[in-house]
Amino acid sequence: MGLLTGKKGLILGLVNDYSIAWGITQKLHEEGAELGFTFLPDKDPANPKMERRVRKLVDPLGAKFVQPCDVQSDGDLDKAFAAAKEHFGQVDFVIHSIAYAPIEDIKKPVYDVSRDGFKLAMDVSCYSMIAVTKHARQILTPGGSVLTLTYLGGERVIPGYNMMGICKAALESAVTYLAYELGADGFRVNAISAGPIKTLSSSAVKDIDAMFSLYDKMAPMRRNVDALEVGKTALYLVSDLASGVTGETLHVDAGFHVMGAPPASAKELFS
């Protein structure tokens, strides 16, 4: 019997096998969870590339619920969660693994981002978590939880992360307010702040390869993490082991976030 045997959950934001959401999916499935998924609707329904990509991953896991959902559409969210309620009845957790910023804006300095680009990034990367939580609380079991993903750029200036850092700061603040508001109903809301991982989203961040190298030299564990390690922490946070944990941003970054300066062994970082 696994840690999540008999538990049900939704994962929003799985794109491909490089996604952090895929690392989470694998760990939750290994521990017995019954999982459902949403994906960004394909622009051309006659050529459903996104749906095929997601189904290729989750069909072998026995996933019976795979639903299109654009988190910018209240109608899509209504339909997706209504379908989830019909399929599952209730769920024990909902995982929000969604972020986006226009490539032309994320590459600009913060002072030069466009108004429309900023609104779009905040809508998808932060407000969608609020909207998802609103719907999730209607189908969560007692003690259920909502989990999202963030990054250190929401707490510290990470050159190249730019506007997305502001979005993550807003997301982390939203987690604390949502945790307060849902706590009286017995629900929990948390975030995982993962180290940099090679995903479709991270490829848009300038100098991301240098960031990977920096973690190898500067993190207390002298390495970075992978999506499966994030998955292990997600497993903890959505399980009964974390029944007393809410409003938390838990770092899974080999300790990088605690460092204020490079270790003496990384002499090349001083030159």
Distance of CA 215 to the CA centre of its chain: 20
Query: Which one is predicted more confidently, 45 or 38?
Result: 38
Catalytic residue among 127, 151, 177, 215: 151
Q: Is there a catalytic annotation at residue 18?
A: no
Residue 145 has pLDDT above 60, yes or no: yes
Which residue from 248, 253, 231 is spatially nearest to 153, judged by alpha carbons? Answer: 253
Residue 167 has pLDDT above 70, yes or no: yes
- Average pLDDT in the 246-252 region? 98
Torsion angle of alpha carbons 220, 205, 25, 122, nearest 10°?
A: 110
Q: Under CATH, domain 8-269 is a member of which superfamily?
A: NAD(P)-binding Rossmann-like Domain (3.40.50.720)
State both tokens at 17: 């096998």
Which residue from 119, 102, 114, 135 is spatially nearest to 12, judged by alpha carbons? Answer: 135
With cut-offs at 50, 70 and 90, classify the pLDDT of residue 175. very high
Which residue from 3, 9, 59 is spatially nearest to 31, judged by alpha carbons? Answer: 3
- The pLDDT assigned to 48 comes to 85
- The pLDDT assigned to 118 comes to 98
Please, where are the H alpha helices in the chain? 20-30, 49-58, 74-88, 103-106, 115-122, 128-136, 163-183, 208-218, 227-238
With cut-offs at 50, 70 and 90, classify the pLDDT of residue 13. very high
Residue 43 has pLDDT above 60, yes or no: yes
Model confidence, pTM: 0.94
State both tokens at 172: 């982390």
- The pLDDT assigned to 7 comes to 98
φ, ψ dihedrals at 84, nearest 5°: -65, -40
Tens digit of each residue's pLDDT (9 = 90 or more) over 72-85: 999 999 999 999 99
Average model confidence (pLDDT) across the chain: 93
Residue 108 has pLDDT above 80, yes or no: yes
Rounded CA separation 101/123 (Å): 9
- The pLDDT assigned to 204 comes to 52
Tens digit of each residue's pLDDT (9 = 90 or more) over 85-105: 999 999 999 999 999 999 999
- The pLDDT assigned to 42 comes to 87
- The pLDDT assigned to 206 comes to 58
Q: What are the boundaries of each domain within the chain?
A: 8-269
Apex CA 153: angle with CA 120 and CA 223, to 5°? 130
Tens digit of each residue's pLDDT (9 = 90 or more) over 183-226: 999 999 999 999 998 765 545 555 667 777 888 899 999 999 99
Percent of the chain with pLDDT strictly greater than 70 = 94
With cut-offs at 50, 70 and 90, classify the pLDDT of residue 271. low
Residue 29 has pLDDT above 90, yes or no: yes
Beta bridge pairs of residue 189: 146
Q: Is there a catalytic annotation at residue 151?
A: yes
Tell me whether residue 260 is exposed, middle or buried, using C-beta atoms within 10 angstroms of its C-beta: 0 to 12, 13 to 18, 19 or more.
Answer: exposed
- The pLDDT assigned to 200 comes to 55
Which residue from 129, 124, 235, 237 is spatially nearest to 177, judged by alpha carbons? Answer: 129
- The pLDDT assigned to 270 comes to 60
Please, where are the H alpha helices in 71-136? 74-88, 103-106, 115-122, 128-136
Query: Which one is predicted more confidently, 43 or 156?
Result: 156
Catalytic residue among 161, 180, 215, 236: 161
